[in-house]
Structure 1
Amino acid sequence: MSDLLWPRYDSPADLAAIEAVPLADRGLPESTYALLARAAARWPERSAISVLPEAARWAEAESRTFAELLADVHRFANLLHRLGIRRGDAVALIAPNCAELITATLAAQLAGIAAPVNGALSREHLAELLRRSGARVLITAGPELDAGTWDTVRDPGVEPAAILVLRPTGATGPATPLPAVDGVLIGYLDELAADEDPTAFAGKPPRSGDLAAVFHTGGTTGAPKLAAHTHGNEVADAWMLAANSLFDSDSVLFAALPLFHVNALVVTLLTPLFKGQHVVWAGPLGYRDPALYGEFWRIVEHHRIASMSAVPTVYAVLAQVPVNADIGSLRFAMVGASPLPAAVRAGFEDHTGVPLLEGYGLTEATCASARSFPDTPRPGAVGQRLPYQRMKVEDGVLRIGGPTVFPGYVTGRDDHGLVLDGLGKLAGGWLDTGDLAEVDEDGFVFLRGRAKDLIIRGGHNIDPALVEDALLAHPQVTAAGAVGRPDPHAGEVPVAYVTLAPGTVVTEEELLAWAADRVPERAAVPKAVTVLEALPVTVLGKPDKLALRADATHRAVAAALAGIPGAQVGARVQDGSVVATVALAAAEDEAAVHAALGAYAVRWEPRILEDVS
């Protein structure tokens, strides 16, 4: 391997030496296709991917060498090309993980633009994302792989030109017959591509500045936004992670996040291509499969897993699973997407002896923007910025510049292809992350919460992290979220929600006293602490503060209206804010509600029960 491509990078002190060489001189591949082709040329017979059909059948993985993977990508991409997909055309992929989805994702980026979509989104959101991307070809789970997804995409709300169907990993025997639809090509992807050329792509290969993918992000209300990535974005970010000197070509990685998430694509699909690393992919449910946890340590032993990537909740569960196998191969575990509670870190590391390495990133910066080091801990930091990614803090908000910053969100389509707009997130090449943060002189990032999550009590801004950090210091608290509850005097007051370690009992009164002793600002001490079985998350698995705000609003309004007989209170999220609903027994009670809620900064809507037929 070239020293120019692989500088020493196992310590925070290496960053300056790495950046002394311009990124343009590193010789990175032009595209994700060129990255795959490079791997196939260097390691044609080495195992590239092994995909488990399901957790219980972890010894029956379906494998592909790098040469076989490239040949399958050529076949799938040539089919897409024959169906009219060109460089600016999106291909929607709606399916749980399986061997064919991995190949199809790479093929979509070669022939056009990959548009992975979470099949668990509502039918309305799916239709809106498909319309916005302009996807006329759908690659989707068939009835054998995921009956629910198949039922949804049979009527996706748009009129696709083709629906290409995926079978489960390792499927044998005749496939389930598919229905005929006038004017739409419907067939099994592998069968339709069987006679396509496996040796080369019939179209023009992508360039660095071409769009590779569009990923949906955010959106706790309304349809999620579509963030575009160029091939240059994805290759650069993958290289920044692959440059990690802690892993060599023999390191086997474990992947279980869904491919509609950028972490799965960049961290566990593209990054391993740089060094020819073998990736073991979990079954279609990934980390959502309860059976995976009972088999997990045997999977690590059998496949000699060296590293994995997951969210904190996964490690909280694994910390409770008896280690019933030799897991000496597992050197590091990567964690991100949401704050890592100290109790989860300690529980997992004490249980397994495997260090958790925190990272930070967001879809609009392709994926990863900061990484940690096992031998150089920086308490409180989510990691050091990755090479060539610039960072600055303005008005308390973290901004990122450099080669991984996305070109914008998809807002439409014209004769030239997808129309992109930064929608206020981009200014002069800098991305507004929306994260409150500090960056020290060594480039380590310390997150302080989300700017939009600030609690404003009587004009005083309260960072929710002050409350959350205090509660997370409790040995039994595994997750915490603080939000503002409407208050007639202060506008908002802080309240908190927590989850506890399995099998433990801590009262809300005890947690409230704990927080009162440890929150550094008196104004930030929570007025209430509520214990939940799980904190709400968005469709993308990120903490959903809006859902917590809705619950806090519901509780505040219900208390305020306790004196009005028959008043039924609800709360929902609408257009990024919370709206309370008040159902009344009689129209004359509406005046009493106005009087009771007059001092609250709460949007609310009345409904008269007697008017409902």
Structure 2
Amino acid sequence: MSDTAANLKTASDLTTFEASPRMRRYPLTNTLELIVSCSERYRHDTALEYLPTAARGETGIRVSFLQLAERVIQTANLFTSLGVRPEDAISLLLPNLPETHYALWGGQAVGIASPINPFLEAGHIVEIMNATRAKVLVTQGPGVDRELWSKVGQVMEKVPTLETVLVVDAPGDTAGVSTGIRTLNFNDSITQQAADALAGDRAINDNDIAAYFHTGGTTGRPKIARLTHGNIAFVSQVYADCTAEKGRYAMLCGLPLFHIFGTVAAGIASLFAGRSLVITTPQGFRSPNVLPNWWHLVERYQVKSFAAVPAILDALLQMPAGDCDIGCLQEITCGASPLHESLKQAFENKFNVAISNGYGMTESSCLLARPSSAADTPPNSVGSRLPYMEMQIAHVDGNRRARQCAAGEIGDILARGPHIFAGYLNPQDNAGAWVEERWFNTGDMGYMDDDGFLYLTGRSKDLIIRGGHNIDPALIEEPLGRHPAVATAVAIGQPDAYAGELPIAYVTLKAGHRTTVQALDEHCKATVSERAAVPKRIVILEKMPLTAVNKIYKPELRNLATEWVILDMLSKKSINASVKASMDTKLGQLARVQLQEPGHNALARETLARLPVHIELI
């Protein structure tokens, strides 16, 4: 077996591999070292190629590995000149741009980079920036994105720690100066800084905080994960090692750079492996040109692999390759939300490409488990744990392990290792995150087989995962509960063939009060702080399902949502059926569908194939 992580196929392989000390295999300890290492090894090769529109035949804007390192160092020196210190947060409110990479890695070299989803509502952005006490904001001006700039205006008014706004825009344009807030042009400003070395004498330690990532939680407030330099550096080196056999190639990048998957696996880890990142427009997969031209871009850049989430694979499945020669494509890396086996098989069969479905989260710096290859991984498994980490399946009682689970037995997935984050910024959020103060509780349920392969079966924490984006149910429940007619509001994820889950809400009304679904929907649109969290469906119930101790029983609500969406999908095909949904310990969400008329089995199976639910037709 080759002495790289690319060929780790069994638990025995992992044990043998780990006999060599971790720091001997993966010696780099901070993200600046990763960037500088790339520049020394690959020099004038293309690191980034930016396609502003992704139109066919468009000439990309190229940045070499050496230029990338220079821009990162210049950006770091700019931040230093603005008074940024290692404990200061630099908020990035940016789409996918070369400058986003400069700010991400330059920010981490001297402070703490805090990428923020620019599609969040202004109030939510303000909450995050106040939680991190942001000192600098990097964003775009009104000439590029007027809606985003209106949010920046609110940030300037409501974030008292903010001292400087850097605008990524046309040279010389500062997009207007706000009183009391220094506003500078980012591109102009970095060119005035030295590119050969960092100003000052900071020595970056592996346990220094490199990044703040906002993530879904269960508290109703911004939940900020603190990732260290050592966390990101370890995962980047492991990922590059795990994919070493693929060699160097151009990789299409459509995942957002405010998300851990786009930042690490499809970002710095791929750069460290010597791959060129083709940035497919600022909007990535949201751009109107990107998906229709995807197979053309695969052929043009001879792409061997790219990263995507299940919702994107579902959309690409509808995009025929046509006369594009995509024989270069070997594997697709999928993550961020569960991949349904039927979608995986349909995609692999149609495009003759393997899909590798891994498992990770923000708190694990992107990765917890991954397949050595699609061919060597059992169906429905997300692979084996990473080397040099520990993973355990256990029954958890509060913040202690009641007992470890046997092979094949379902329990809570616990992890610890050099890539597990340094905890949440708010100490209150850490109370339920750790088991026995040393194991991170992922909030997911699953089991491992005798060979160490991990299988996910559900979640113990109530996050809604919409297309890889985590939504805290409290973001819906709290504002909906403030409606004068609402007694109780419960938000859950409804299965969806495209996004994996969509947020919906069930409510009960106060005695003597009346309202309509339309009125509740308008209330949510006006009060839910995150656009993606606005429920797609609201249902008024006479009473909530309760447990024996009178707690709301969410599994029954998920069953009701599953039954509704299946009946809705079938009715659109003029198929009459009855549905009974339940939660199976091994299969997850299960639905038994009884068709009322003969001859519809094939159409029903095809209609429901990509719904992330185990379907049994009876």
- TM-score normalised by length of structure 1: 0.74
In 1, Cα distance between equivalents of 2:571 and 2:57 = 32
**1:410 is paired with a residue of what secondary structure?**
coil
Letter in 1 for 2:190: A
The correspondence for 1:164, drawn from 161, 166, 175, is: 166
C-alpha contact 1:95 1:140 (8 A) present in aligned 2: yes
Letter in 2 for 1:430: W
C-alpha contact 2:172 2:188 (8 A) present in aligned 1: no
Q: Does the alignment pair 1:206 with 2:204? A: yes
Letter in 2 for 1:282: T
Task: Give the aligned partner of residue 73 of structure 2.
Answer: 74
In 1, Cα distance between equivalents of 2:342 and 2:300 = 29
How far the C-alpha of 1:175 sits from its partner, in A, is 5.7
Task: Give the aligned partner of residue 536 of structure 2.
Answer: none
Q: How does 1:362-511 map to 2 (within 5 A)?
A: 362-372=361-371, 373-395=373-395, 396-411=411-426, 422-426=430-434, 427-453=436-462, 479=500, 486-487=544-545, 492=553, 493=556, 494-497=559-562, 498=565, 505-506=572-573, 509-510=576-577
The correspondence for 1:269, drawn from 267, 270, 284, is: 267
Cα 1:99–1:223, aligned 2, differ >3 Å: closer, same or farther?
same
In 1, Cα distance between equivalents of 2:593 and 2:567 = 16
In 2, Cα distance between equivalents of 1:273 and 1:238 = 9
In 2, Cα distance between equivalents of 1:66 and 1:83 = 26
Task: Give the aligned partner of residue 188 of structure 1.
Answer: 185
In 1, Cα distance between equivalents of 2:30 and 2:262 = 18
C-alpha contact 2:131 2:222 (8 A) present in aligned 1: no
In 2, Cα distance between equivalents of 1:502 and 1:527 = 15
How far the C-alpha of 1:141 sits from its partner, in A, is 1.7
Q: How does 1:315-330 map to 2 (within 5 A)?
A: 315-324=313-322, 325-330=324-329
Superposed CA deviations along residues 290-310 of structure 1, whole A, max 9, x for unmatched, are 321110101111111111111
The correspondence for 1:291, drawn from 289, 292, 295, is: 289
Report sequence identity in percent.
Answer: 32
In 2, Cα distance between equivalents of 1:503 and 1:226 = 41
- Count of matched residue positions in the alignment of Structure 1 and Structure 2: 498
Q: How does 1:437-586 map to 2 (within 5 A)?
A: 437-453=446-462, 479=500, 486-487=544-545, 492=553, 493=556, 494-497=559-562, 498=565, 505-506=572-573, 509-510=576-577, 512=579
C-alpha contact 2:337 2:500 (8 A) present in aligned 1: no
Cα 1:452–1:200, aligned 2, differ >3 Å: closer, same or farther?
closer
C-alpha contact 2:341 2:380 (8 A) present in aligned 1: no
In 2, Cα distance between equivalents of 1:501 and 1:198 = 59
C-alpha contact 1:253 1:308 (8 A) present in aligned 2: yes
Moved more, 489-498 or 339-348: 489-498
Task: Give the aligned partner of residue 312 of structure 1.
Answer: 310
Cα 1:117–1:58, aligned 2, differ >3 Å: closer, same or farther?
farther
In 1, Cα distance between equivalents of 2:500 and 2:573 = 14
The correspondence for 2:226, drawn from 220, 225, 228, is: 228
In 2, Cα distance between equivalents of 1:363 and 1:479 = 18
**1:487 is paired with a residue of what secondary structure?**
coil
In 1, Cα distance between equivalents of 2:114 and 2:121 = 17
Cα 1:452–1:100, aligned 2, differ >3 Å: closer, same or farther?
closer
**2:138 is paired with a residue of what secondary structure?**
strand
Task: Give the aligned partner of residue 354 of structure 2.
Answer: 355
How far the C-alpha of 1:41 sits from its partner, in A, is 1.1
Superposed CA deviations along residues 450-479 of structure 1, whole A, max 9, x for unmatched, are 11359xxxxxxxxxxxxx9xx99xxx9995
**1:222 is paired with a residue of what secondary structure?**
coil
C-alpha contact 1:10 1:246 (8 A) present in aligned 2: no
- TM-score normalised by length of structure 2: 0.73
How far the C-alpha of 1:60 sits from its partner, in A, is 2.1
In 1, Cα distance between equivalents of 2:57 and 2:168 = 20
**1:154 is paired with a residue of what secondary structure?**
helix
Cα 1:224–1:56, aligned 2, differ >3 Å: closer, same or farther?
farther
CA RMSD, Structure 1 to Structure 2 (Å): 3.5
C-alpha contact 1:341 1:478 (8 A) present in aligned 2: no
List gaps (5 residues or longer) in structure 2: 396-410, 464-491, 507-540, 595-603, 613-618
Superposed CA deviations along residues 535-582 of structure 1, whole A, max 9, x for unmatched, are 9xxxxxxx9xxxxxxxxxxxxxxxxxxxxxxxxxxxxxxxxxxxxxxx
How far the C-alpha of 1:524 sits from its partner, in A, is 8.2
Moved more, 431-440 or 10-19: 10-19
Moved more, 80-89 or 249-258: 249-258
**1:56 is paired with a residue of what secondary structure?**
coil
C-alpha contact 1:141 1:149 (8 A) present in aligned 2: yes
C-alpha contact 1:371 1:383 (8 A) present in aligned 2: yes
C-alpha contact 2:235 2:366 (8 A) present in aligned 1: yes
Cα 1:180–1:155, aligned 2, differ >3 Å: closer, same or farther?
same
**1:236 is paired with a residue of what secondary structure?**
helix
**1:138 is paired with a residue of what secondary structure?**
strand
C-alpha contact 2:218 2:462 (8 A) present in aligned 1: no
How far the C-alpha of 1:180 sits from its partner, in A, is 1.9
How far the C-alpha of 1:146 sits from its partner, in A, is 2.3
Task: Give the aligned partner of residue 235 of structure 2.
Answer: 237
Task: Give the aligned partner of residue 114 of structure 1.
Answer: 113
C-alpha contact 2:457 2:585 (8 A) present in aligned 1: no
List gaps (5 residues or longer) in structure 1: 412-418, 455-467, 536-542, 544-613
In 1, Cα distance between equivalents of 2:428 and 2:136 = 21
In 2, Cα distance between equivalents of 1:407 and 1:49 = 30
In 2, Cα distance between equivalents of 1:30 and 1:520 = 40
C-alpha contact 2:344 2:355 (8 A) present in aligned 1: yes
